[in-house]
């Protein structure tokens, strides 16, 4: 009687496929130039914690690949046929909210930079320095940190200063004085009842102010409100 544990046994089947390494960042790479994809893949796959698991030649295919594969990070070229990287980024951000997105482009262009950030990208990497910056950008994205090349940072600062000079509303003036008062008290740990008594307003009004604060600042809870209050200098850490 044959031993089923032996390789030649009729009961033995094909070896199972190796399980995916959960410590590796699974990457979707989209660029309409095959040579560029090959070069970028070489940069990424030689890192022990990075792995390209899907490739796409345009934005529409990138969305299909994201549906078909478990991916943690999408690296998208901006200029692609059918759907651009910017259009794909918007759709991917809606399709998979937890997916991190990096734009990899030859364009050192402020308009593209701002559009990329609005589309949901957390980083903007130039192809000309991809061998230097791309790996660091991938790891920063997975830490939920933005990654911008130095020229992009300069562009963002210049844009902010231009808005301030033209009197446009800045982040420091999003909140009304009353909302700042409520925010400070919330961050100090006061309950809605206590805040109502301190400010001589109704509990319902306090709750409305808290809801407005969360909506205006794009925050979720008291902890995030407290962190914002510390950054804004309303309370000490």
pLDDT at 173: 55
What pLDDT score does 169 carry?
Answer: 45
Question: What was the pLDDT predicted at 163?
Answer: 63
pLDDT at residue 97, as a whole number: 87
Residue 20 falls inside a structural domain: no
CA–CA separation, 149 and 157 (whole Å)? 13
Domains held by the chain: number: 2
My answer on whether 104 and 194 are in the same domain is no
Question: Residue 76: which domain range?
Answer: 25-149
pLDDT value of position 154? 76
Which two structure tokens, joined as six digits, stand for 235?
């309370």
Any idea which residue has 């963002």 for tokens?
156
| d(C-alpha 63, C-alpha 28), whole Å | 10
Amino acid 10: pLDDT = 45
Q: Are residues 134 and 192 in the same domain?
A: no
For helices 222-231 and 177-187, the axis angle rounded to 10 degrees is 110
Alpha carbons 77 and 116: distance in angstroms, whole number: 11
pLDDT given for residue 34 in this prediction = 93
Does a structural domain hold residue 17? no
CATH number for 66: 3.40.50.2300
Return per-residue pLDDT of the chain as tens, 237 residues: 445 444 444 444 444 444 455 678 999 999 999 999 999 999 999 999 999 999 999 999 999 999 999 999 999 999 888 888 999 999 999 999 889 999 998 888 777 888 888 888 988 989 988 888 899 999 999 988 888 877 777 777 776 666 656 555 444 557 888 888 999 999 889 999 999 999 999 999 999 999 989 888 888 888 888 888 887 778 876
Question: What H or E segment, with its residue span, contains residue 94?
Answer: helix 85-95
């Amino acid at each position: 009687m044959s031993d089923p544990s032996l390789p030649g046994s009729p009961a033995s089947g094909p070896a199972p496929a190796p399980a995916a390494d959960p410590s590796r960042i699974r990457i979707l790479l989209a660029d309409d130039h095959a040579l560029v994809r090959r070069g970028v893949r070489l940069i990424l796959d030689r890192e022990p914690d990075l792995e390209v698991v899907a490739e796409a030649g345009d934005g529409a295919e990138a969305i299909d690949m994201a549906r078909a594969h478990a991916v943690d990070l999408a690296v998208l070229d901006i200029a692609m046929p059918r759907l651009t990287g910017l259009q794909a980024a918007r759709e991917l951000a809606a399709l998979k909210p937890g997916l991190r997105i990096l734009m990899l482009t030859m364009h050192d262009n402020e308009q593209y930079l701002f559009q990329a950030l609005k589309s949901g990208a957390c980083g903007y990497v130039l192809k000309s320095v991809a061998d230097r910056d791309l790996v660091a950008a991938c790891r920063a994205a997975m830490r939920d940190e933005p990654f911008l090349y130095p020229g992009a940072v300069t562009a963002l600062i210049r844009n902010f200063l231009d808005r301030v000079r033209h009197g446009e509303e800045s982040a420091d003036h999003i909140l009304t004085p009353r909302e700042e008062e409520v925010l400070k008290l919330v961050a100090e740990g006061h309950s809605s009842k206590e805040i109502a008594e301190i400010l001589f307003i109704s509990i319902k009004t306090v709750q409305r102010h808290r809801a407005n604060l969360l909506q205006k600042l794009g925050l979720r809870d008291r902890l995030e409100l407290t962190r914002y209050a510390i950054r804004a200098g309303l309370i000490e850490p």
